[in-house]
Structure 1
Amino acid sequence: MKVLILTKNLLAETIFQSKLQQLNYEVYCSTCLVNECQRMSLETTQLLSCFDAVILSETIAYQEIVDLILGIRDHVPMIIRKYESDFTKSTEEEQTEHVIDRWIRVNASLEEIRELCQTITPRETEQSSGAVSRKERPEQKKYPLYNFGFSNRESVLLMCLHEHQGQYLSRQELCEKLWREEGVTSSKMTALSSCVRNIKEKVEKNGVKCNPINTAWGRGYQISDDFYHLIQIGT
């Protein structure tokens, strides 16, 4: 598994990086990518696609974290934020809502880091599980959409993607469908990313080994072929 640590000070990550490496993970630390991830060039996007998780260091200020998240949210499976105090965590958690997936203390023990890493799904695992789903599709039953506990907005998003099965819908198109007259803003884009992530989490929590939504840089979102054949829309 490959982990990227974005930081403002490489020396500040020495102990944390060492613990990750003790657990046999590939770890990369970078200061220059902090700015690059805010601009999100094609090269940066391709680089991020190599990692299973991005850890945002406590050395990065909160406002910079907000800008970073807008850039990287759709390109990495998991975003983790390191924090020094419970006050810092609670304050940032309220502001960033659900766009950060996991939190870890700066001085976390090896055991705590190991348990955190157990929640990260390597990209290779996601691909192989998708292959299994396709193979077993004829034996799978249909799941009504309400079985997963989706919110109204998450259900509308899935129905839009279901209606356009086989096609990618851009982030702008989906924002316009979900919020209509409210218009497309950066906050709406962030909320859309949260919807997609929540859908994936709820599908996983229901024990369904299937990636529900495909993401393609520059194209948007598409309902996966597996999930399209797995769910039942309407009665």
Structure 2
Amino acid sequence: MIRILLLTKNVLSEQELLQKLQRLNFEVFSSSSTLHSLIVSESSAGLADYFSVIILSETISCREVQEILPHIVKEGRLIFRKADRSFVEEEKNILGQEQITEWIHSDASAEEIRELIASPFYNLELGNMSYHPFTQGQFSKIDNKQMENVLASFSASEFKVFQKLKQERGHTVAREELCQLLWNEVTQSRMVQLSSLVKNMRIKFEANDIDGELIQTVWRKGYILKQ
């Protein structure tokens, strides 16, 4: 199944596109926080590493697209730019066509989107390519498909925690910081919720034959992603 990351400044504005993609049986995750990490040039934008298809929303300016492209272009990855039909040719002149696989019109039908994404994806025969985002660092001993299955099963909150831990890999992330990230508040009840969330993430790792202690607890401090 094709997994798609939709980068946008406003997740709510992408509901129509999300519904079309989901109706086509694509697995889609929409993220504004990953986009922010890319725009501020954080080298480990986290979530973007785990998708072979990325869609750049029209909420992102052309200048910002130019800034983030060097961080997301990888062998075997397809990058689509969503834009108003009347502005596509102008964007092509601004951005060029070397790094953008194709443009998706804002009013494109589900059928148009299906062909735009599926055709180049399968023509590339990604299953036989050497692009595996889990072949370095702490993931070197983990099967690529296993990790993809885990990520696909994560809730939005679990994704955020995993993304933050990966960005800070090798360093402890305080529980208070994670609570602030998820709920914009730090209370005892939120701390309990966080513990439950991390426990659930470990269960999902183990269900896919991955050591649940990939996420380690640092007593009285927080969590760290094992290297």
* Normalised TM-score (structure 1): 0.49
Partner residue in 2 for 1:47: 47
Alignment map for 1:60-79 (pairs within 5 Å): 60-74=60-74, 77-79=77-79
Q: Deviations for 1:185-229, whole angstroms, at most 9, x for unmatched residues?
A: xxxxxxxxxxxxxxxxxxxxxxxxxxxxxxxxxxxxxxxxxxxxx
> Is this contact kept in 2: 1:49–1:75, CA < 8 A?
no
CA RMSD of aligned residues (A): 2.5
Q: Deviations for 1:139-168, whole angstroms, at most 9, x for unmatched residues?
A: xxxxxxxxxxxxxxxxxxxxxxxxxxxxxx
Q: Distance in 1 between matches of 2:119 and 2:69?
A: 20
Q: Distance in 2 between matches of 1:60 and 1:76?
A: 23
Alignment map for 1:164-183 (pairs within 5 Å): none
Alignment map for 1:138-153 (pairs within 5 Å): none
Partner residue in 1 for 2:189: none
Question: Is 1:14 matched up with 2:48?
Answer: no
Q: Distance in 2 between matches of 1:102 and 1:59?
A: 17
> Is this contact kept in 1: 2:6–2:31, CA < 8 A?
yes
> Is this contact kept in 1: 2:76–2:126, CA < 8 A?
no
> Is this contact kept in 1: 2:34–2:47, CA < 8 A?
no
Question: Is 1:5 matched up with 2:21?
Answer: no
Partner residue in 1 for 2:56: 56
Q: Distance in 2 between matches of 1:4 and 1:39?
A: 18
Question: Is 1:91 matched up with 2:94?
Answer: no
How much does 1:59 deviate? 1.0
* Normalised TM-score (structure 2): 0.51
Q: Distance in 1 between matches of 2:48 and 2:76?
A: 6
**Counterpart secondary structure, 1:15:** helix
The code of the aligned residue for 1:53 comes to: V
Partner residue in 2 for 1:101: 101
Q: Distance in 2 between matches of 1:78 and 1:129?
A: 13
How much does 1:120 deviate? 4.0
Q: How many residues get paired?
A: 128
The code of the aligned residue for 1:36 comes to: S
> Is this contact kept in 1: 2:62–2:95, CA < 8 A?
no
Q: Distance in 1 between matches of 2:71 and 2:129?
A: 27
**Counterpart secondary structure, 2:70:** helix
**Counterpart secondary structure, 1:108:** coil
Give every structure 1 segment of 4 or more consecutive aligned residues whose post-TM-superposition deviation is greater than 6 Å: none
Partner residue in 2 for 1:126: 126
- Aligned-residue identity in percent: 31
> Is this contact kept in 1: 2:54–2:79, CA < 8 A?
yes
- Structure 1 residues 129 and 30, CA gap change in structure 2 (3 angstroms): closer
> Is this contact kept in 1: 2:79–2:101, CA < 8 A?
yes
> Is this contact kept in 1: 2:80–2:102, CA < 8 A?
yes
Partner residue in 2 for 1:82: 82
Which blocks of at least 5 consecutive residues in structure 1 are unaligned?
A: 131-235
Alignment map for 1:19-34 (pairs within 5 Å): 19-34=20-35
Q: Distance in 2 between matches of 1:21 and 1:47?
A: 19
> Is this contact kept in 1: 2:43–2:71, CA < 8 A?
no
The code of the aligned residue for 1:115 comes to: E
Structure number with greater CO (CA < 8 Å, separation at least 6) is 1
The code of the aligned residue for 2:10 comes to: N
- Structure 1 residues 77 and 129, CA gap change in structure 2 (3 angstroms): closer
